[in-house]
């Protein structure tokens, strides 16, 4: 009981103090979630705690506490964009041709997960929490209304943010499980006042950061030979609003004139859509199991996909909407004694529409994602740590389909044409242990 108490005391401040989501939803942590998803039947001593946090209804299966720690890294390599139109009259600039960088920062961070049974008798109840904390910069926020500059928003800084989830699972009826959880994220507003006068210039900045949560709801039907799950994940809209007021004072003939100018920039620094997911896991042979899932991602519900800029000297607003997508995943898991091998594949069609008749250059293509994982388990380490534990390696390889981008009008930004595509890797190592 003391162990449970201190574990809850540890987790709750962590959840309240950090608060974001979704790199964990995009790429998964731990070998099982990253490689084969969250629907495999459990057939080993030490379970992957990450998979239970991601699919909270399955927490009701647990009768022992487990903890997982590890790290996750990313690396991207995208096709260069050279000799294209990067400015024109519509963007308020002179006509220019140049290059656009597609080199984005890598991410490396630590991951953790804890699952803890709270009630051993029926109805069984269990708690779980988990997430990811980047090393170095805790978070990189980029919000721009200059949407004509080509960029890959799904990879430019998207992984450089903390992710935290908390969940509760119940086992109310035989073979049926229910789970509830939350993604923690935040919104922020900032106000800046600039007093630009030649005698005593100054600046005032105020910023407010507010915690927000999005819901997780999960239902599972589980037998010895079958696991079926339904998951709903609410949207996480990291809204950012900035208000800047520049007060320019000028003196003429002994008189001082004040020229206040106001600038407002609104948008989403990150956005994770509503998701509805159906998954199944079942054994194929004694040592081999199969999992698959379909996920409906409701990108079209995002209110303002692009940054909106307003000022007393002009504004920029684009009528632009993403489209919904369905992501299909499959995975295989092979267990031989203390060893495990995993592989998987999923296809993710792009949610970004065609922009050939505009200055916009929001870049993304259909993705083929290949996953691999391996692990082994020990009952103890040389008798020094007398707890069953498992060690796992995992990786994802995102192959972005190459695509030619051509503009209808050659003087539009991006005119001259360019190809998009590339590759993106995630890799990690995790350790799980029975407490």
Q: What is the DSSP string of 253-305?
A: TTEEEEEEEEEEEEEEEEEE-EEEEEEEEEESSSSEEEEEEEEEEEGGG-S-S
Two structure tokens written together for 424: 């993106």
159-162-163-164 Cα dihedral, nearest 10 degrees: 170
Mean pLDDT over all residues of the chain?
A: 81
pLDDT at position 44 is 55
Confirm if 345 and 329 have CB atoms less than 8 A apart. yes
Please name the helix (run of DSSP H) or strand (run of DSSP E) that holds residue 33, with its range, or none: helix 30-35
Cis-peptide, bond into residue 97, ω within 30° of zero: no
**pLDDT beyond 70 at 256:** no
pLDDT at position 19 is 28
d(CA 150, CA 158) in angstroms, rounded, equals 16
Higher pLDDT, 314 or 337: 337
CATH superfamily of 2-434: Outer membrane protein transport protein (OMPP1/FadL/TodX) (2.40.160.60)
Higher pLDDT, 245 or 344: 344
d(CA 65, CA 279) in angstroms, rounded, equals 25
pTM for the full predicted model: 0.85
Q: In the chain, where are the structural domains located?
A: 2-434
Q: Which residues pair with 374 in a beta bridge?
A: 341, 393
Name the least confident of 63-67, 151-155, 342-346, 377-381. Answer: 377-381
């Amino acid at each position: 009981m003391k162990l449970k108490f201190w574990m809850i005391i540890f987790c709750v401040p962590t959840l309240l103090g950090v608060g974001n989501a979704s790199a964990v939803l995009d790429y998964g942590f731990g070998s099982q979630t990253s490689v084969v998803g969250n629907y495999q039947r459990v057939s080993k001593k030490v379970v992957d705690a990450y998979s239970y946090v991601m699919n909270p209804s399955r927490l009701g299966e647990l009768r022992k506490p487990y903890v997982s720690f590890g790290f996750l890294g990313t690396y991207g390599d995208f096709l260069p964009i050279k000799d294209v139109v990067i400015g024109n009259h519509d963007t308020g600039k002179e006509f220019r041709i140049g290059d656009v960088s597609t080199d984005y920062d890598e991410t490396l961070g630590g991951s953790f997960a804890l699952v803890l049974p709270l009630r051993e008798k029926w109805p069984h109840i269990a708690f779980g929490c988990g997430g990811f904390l980047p090393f170095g910069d805790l978070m990189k926020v980029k919000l721009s209304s200059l949407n004509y500059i080509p960029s890959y928003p799904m990879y430019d800084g998207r992984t450089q943010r903390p992710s935290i989830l908390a969940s509760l699972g119940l086992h109310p009826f035989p073979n049926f499980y229910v789970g509830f959880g939350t993604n923690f994220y935040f919104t922020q507003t900032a106000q800046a006042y600039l007093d630009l006068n030649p005698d005593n210039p100054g600046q005032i900045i105020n910023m407010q950061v507010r915690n927000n949560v999005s819901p997780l709801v999960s239902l599972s039907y589980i037998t010895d030979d079958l696991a079926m799950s339904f998951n709903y994940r609410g949207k996480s809209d990291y809204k950012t609003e900035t208000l800047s007021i520049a007060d320019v004072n000028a003196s003429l003939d002994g008189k001082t004139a004040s020229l206040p100018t106001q600038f407002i920039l609104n948008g989403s620094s990150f956005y994770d859509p509503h998701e509805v997911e159906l998954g199944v896991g079942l054994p194929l042979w004694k040592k081999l199991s199969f999992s698959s899932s379909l996920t409906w991602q409701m990108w079209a519900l995002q209110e303002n996909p692009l940054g909106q800029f307003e000022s007393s000297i002009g504004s920029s607003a684009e009528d632009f909407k993403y489209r919904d997508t369905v992501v299909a995943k499959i995975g295989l898991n092979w267990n031989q004694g203390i060893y495990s091998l995993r592989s998987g594949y999923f296809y993710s069609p792009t949610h970004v529409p065609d922009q050939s008749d505009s200055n916009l250059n929001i870049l993304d293509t259909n993705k083929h994602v290949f996953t691999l994982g391996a692990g082994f388990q020990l009952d103890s380490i040389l008798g020094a740590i007398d707890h069953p534990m498992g060690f796992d390696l995992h990786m994802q390889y995102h192959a972005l389909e190459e695509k030619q981008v051509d503009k209808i009008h050659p003087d539009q930004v991006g005119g001259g044409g360019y190809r998009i595509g590339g590759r993106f890797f995630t890799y990690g190592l995790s350790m799980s242990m029975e407490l």
